[in-house]
Chains A and B, each alone.
Chain A
């Protein structure tokens, strides 16, 4: 097993100290400060990143547990000149105020749309077998792991709905 992990396509050696969380590894060791530390206890979702295609809280996992895994952070989804569809939609819909939760919201929503495309049900889904309607209730339930203390929720939901429709997921 390789003692490195891949972040946005580039390989990096794992930290020496096993206590380093994936979140601290990304921010301190790699300088990828787009991923944010909010509560550091898996309650707020600001640290959400995508590992092997699945969204997780990077604060509640050790970097050492991810040897050989592929991590995508907000920096890997798009840049200012080439934003991802969700990044663009968050700007268009004013889906933030202070912006601190936004990288986590966008990483989370990116993976969430893939989950819906895979017909994974949620607690809000009428049926476990689909089809899933990308309703406000579905989005709110699926995004309940990402808090926004500025309360931009209505616009976050609107941004996600737009992209779901754009990508034919709705």
Chain B
């Protein structure tokens, strides 16, 4: 790894000051960042260790929701009694990702900020507009099985690789962010990650000097929660397609259908038209097809990943059918 200056942050303000320095990065669990530093995909000149600033707590909120500290580990989050009882979708999504060793170290904030595993991004000998703006995209016309079919640009077809954020999108989570001037702002998880557009190097809306401090969940709702992950082996693999679903049925019709999709885009994909089309309707294969039509409107394969389009349709059918059966 390239040399860097290591600094321990002692407070959120400290972390924010370090994060604002040119060439600086923050390190929490480090499971993604150190991997990238070894490959020289990330070459920070300064590393601010935020492992000791005390954001590990998971607390009940007065409204019945839950505030999960940015530095709570993925494991601590997945096994938390409230998460297991009220947000099982989140526990399931976390447990479907990585390995126990990685989840024990990986943090909630770091998980949101993890970067794509696009082979071209991870290899400094290859062109990548995300890693090196203007160098081109090797994945377009190249090897692209893991890549996006929705919301791509001619600059980048990378996917956001995580599972946790897909569940958080379906659950309507909010990201709390501390700013360099001591203020805090909140961003809906659905708006936290960016599409590549003309700025593929930008994964999310964090500005220089901003630090994620927590993720909050709204009060739990009476609903069936499911996470379905389709992958090439049954453990320790990234999603080809994943679906997080929060579904309720009243009087034989959808009363709630909050869905988010992983493996399809540069961000956890959420399309409000899908819930609008489902809610108030009685479940049927034709209705599920209509939902899939909305999801996949404008979907574009790039060769190796063409299969994701029919796979997403079939997976959506399967998830809706399972959810309806469980909710009935």
Q: Which residues of A contact B (CB under 8 A)?
A: 1, 18-19, 21, 40-42, 45, 48, 54-57, 60-62, 64-65, 67, 108, 111-112, 115, 118, 120-123, 125, 128-129, 140-142, 144-145
Contacts and interface: CB of A to CB of B under 8 A. Distances in A.
B96 interface: yes
7 contacts: A42-B102, A57-B101, A61-B30, A62-B6, A123-B95, A144-B235, A145-B100
A123 B1 contact: no
Interface of B: 1, 3-6, 8, 27, 29-31, 34-35, 38, 47, 49, 51-52, 75, 78-79, 84-85, 88, 91-92, 95-96, 98-102, 104-105, 234-236
A61 to B, nearest CB: 5
Contacts of A129: 84-85
A65 B52 CA distance: 9
Nearest to A53: B104
A56 B101 contact: yes
Contact of B100 (A65, A118, A142): A142
A62 B51 CA distance: 12
Contacts of A123: 92, 95-96, 235
A18 B6 contact: yes
Given A54-B104, A123-B96, A144-B235, 14 more contacts: A18-B47, A48-B101, A55-B104, A56-B105, A57-B31, A57-B101, A60-B35, A65-B51, A108-B100, A121-B84, A121-B91, A129-B84, A145-B102, A145-B236
B217 to A, nearest CB: 16
Central interface residue in A40, A41, A42, by most chain B CB within 10 Å: A42
Contact of B105 (A45, A61, A125): A61
A18 B30 CA distance: 13
Contacts of A121: 78-79, 84, 91, 95
B34 A61 contact: yes
